Amino acid sequence: NTVTLGRTRAKQFYAGDTEETRKQVMPVLFHGDASFAGQGVCYETMQLAHVTDFDVGGTIHVIINNQIGFTTDPVDDRSTLYCSDLGKAFSLPIFHCNGDDPPSVVAAFEMAAEWRQTFGTDVILDVICYRRFGHNETLNPDYTQPQLYQKIARHPRTEMVFSDRLIEMGVATKAELDAIKEDIWAAHEKYFIEADSYK
């Protein structure tokens, strides 16, 4: 949090430290739902948002809300209904969107960016989704959250949910979507291989 905002502030300062330079460098922070609600650094950073020497013209806070903190249910890891409720202390706009609905996520990001550029304050995006696998490589969530992970195992991935929707709406065919997916995988593979020789 603070490192990103410090770098942002430095770039703005050395670019002339005007309202316009603050709009040219936009910090975006990604948080987990439990960490946003539970780590004091989020509150402390927001508390400094409009202190003259710390003001970066607003930060976009993106919460990847997988509805579980390591192995803890939301009801057991915070006192508020939403993990984003911290923003209410600062009267920040909070946009909740469904991670399985990419157009709504894009719309929320666009609104957040427009808000930040227009009003110069922090803004919060709460992307409500789920974590398909454990918190790390050694955690099997079936032990700690068996009912939830049975549902997640049956739930199609976001890519399939969205692809099915596009096909159903007549926006694209399965063949067109498969071709796009192949192009993306090929590009990822190309850049992955190139990364080995990056200097």
Domains of the chain, each with CATH number or no CATH:
2-155 (3.40.50.970), 156-199 (no CATH)
pLDDT of residue 145: 82
pLDDT of residue 70: 67
Q: Tell me the average pLDDT of the chain.
A: 90
| Model confidence at 10: pLDDT above 80 | yes
User: Average pLDDT in the 163-178 region?
Assistant: 95
User: Average pLDDT in the 70-81 region?
Assistant: 74
In sign, the C-alpha dihedral spanning 78, 79, 81, 87 is: negative
What percent of the chain shows pLDDT beyond 70?
Answer: 97
* Contact status, residue 5 vs residue 45, Cβ threshold 8 Å: yes
Poorest-pLDDT segment among 14-18, 56-60, 104-108: 14-18
User: Average pLDDT in the 156-164 region?
Assistant: 94
pLDDT of residue 52: 86
Phi–psi pair at 96, nearest 5 degrees: -100, 135
Residue of 189 and 140 predicted with greater confidence: 189
* Contact status, residue 127 vs residue 105, Cβ threshold 8 Å: yes
* Contact status, residue 171 vs residue 181, Cβ threshold 8 Å: no
Residue of 66 and 63 predicted with greater confidence: 63
pLDDT of residue 122: 96
Where residue 121 falls among pLDDT bands split at 50, 70, 90? very high
